[in-house]
Structure 1
Amino acid sequence: MTAIELARFTVDPDDVDAMLDARPAMLRALRERFDGFEALHLVRLDERTWLDVVRWASRAQADEAAATVVELPECRAAFAYIKEVVAMEHGEVLFAGDRAS
């Protein structure tokens, strides 16, 4: 069953461009390392607060990634701009709608 990871975090406004520049390498690393990785969306909530919405093929794959993602240098580089992790949650998707539905 598909899983969603929600990571709410803060970034200093002076670091936003550098954080955004680090994201493509992080995305490539996630695709290469984790078979269950499906999608990554970065959402700006306000000047300092951001939300990563990550879709995984299963909850087990999301949990495995959460435990090992900091081992990837590209992810560590992107995470270096995070000032505070406000919340980190994982959940299973029970209903989803898209344009094809």
Structure 2
Amino acid sequence: MTTVELVRFRVLPEKAEELLAARPDMLRDFEADRSGFINARLVRLPNDEWLDIVEWATPEDYAASREKGPNHPGIARFFAAIDSLVTAEEGALAG
């Protein structure tokens, strides 16, 4: 069953463009380096918060990605634009 990663975070208003500019490189790095990466969608929420919805083939793929952290420049640049983590959850795609 597909594993879904839900990460809610804050980005300072002056870093929002930086976050968006880093996104394509982050996704390319994930596609090249993260086994089981399926898709990611970024949602802009009110009050400088964002939600990243990332799909993984298995829970093991998601766990392995977490272990790697920001190990490529595009991923590191995206993470650097984030001010603070609000929540991080894992679930299974139900439909």
TM over 0.5: yes
Larger Rg over CA atoms: 1
Could you tell me how far 1:74 is from its partner in structure 2? 1.3
Query: Which ranges of structure 1 fall in alignment gaps of 5 or more residues?
Result: 97-101
Q: In the alignment, is residue 34 of structure 1 matched against residue 23 of structure 2?
A: no
More deviation in 33-42 or 69-78?
69-78
Give the alignment's TM-score, normalised by structure 1: 0.89
- RMSD between aligned residues: 1.0
Q: Tell me the TM-score normalized by structure 2.
A: 0.94
How far apart, CA to CA, are the structure 2 residues paired with 1:75 and 1:18?
Answer: 12
State the aligned residue count. Answer: 95
- The aligned counterpart of 1:45 is 45
Structure 2 runs not aligned, ≥5 long: none
Q: Distance in 1 between matches of 2:69 and 2:31?
A: 12
**Cα drift, residue 35 of structure 1:** 2.4
**Regions of 4+ moved over 6 Å:** none
